[in-house]
């Protein structure tokens, strides 16, 4: 086979590899974007069921004693904060509290 034909076959093989590499890079970028999006969605609650926390009522007008509570249930976010259902041994009812109103005990 003449040298120029061998070289053209070599170039064809190189271009085929380049196409495969570009395809892999494009796929990698897509996977990275999906991972970044999903990992931002994976934020978790700071507190767990059964954990003891300090509750501080910040909104004016709500009758709540700043007291020790136990996490009873994890609730979804209200758009700003995760929410929790909490219960004090000193009260007969449960409350809903935002994560920003709770501190570790």
Q: What is the C-alpha to C-alpha distance for residues 13 and 79, in angstroms, rounded to an integer? A: 53
What is residue 33's predicted lDDT score, i.e. its pLDDT? 54
DSSP notation for 24-53: HHHHHHHHHHHHHHHHHHT---SS-TT-EE
Predicted TM-score of the model (pTM): 0.56
- State residue 16's pLDDT score: 75
* Residue 12 confidence (pLDDT): 72
What is the pLDDT at residue 96? 94
CB distance 45 to 84 below 8 Å: yes
Q: Mean pLDDT of successive 10-residue segments in the chain (105 residues)?
A: 54 72 66 52 83 83 75 90 94 93 92
Q: What is the DSSP letter of 71?
A: E
Q: In 3D, which of 97, 94, 93 has the Cα closest to residue 84? A: 97
């Amino acid at each position: 086979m003449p040298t120029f034909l061998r070289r053209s076959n070599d170039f064809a093989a190189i271009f085929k590899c380049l196409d495969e590499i570009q395809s892999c890079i494009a796929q990698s970028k897509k996977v990275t974007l999906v991972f970044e999006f999903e990992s931002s969605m994976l934020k978790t609650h700071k507190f767990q069921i059964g954990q003891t926390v300090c509750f501080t009522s910040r909104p004016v007008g709500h009758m709540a004693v700043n007291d020790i509570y136990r996490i009873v249930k994890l609730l979804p976010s209200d758009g700003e904060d995760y929410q929790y259902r909490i219960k004090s041994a000193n009260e007969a009812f449960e409350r809903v509290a935002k994560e920003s109103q709770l501190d570790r005990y």
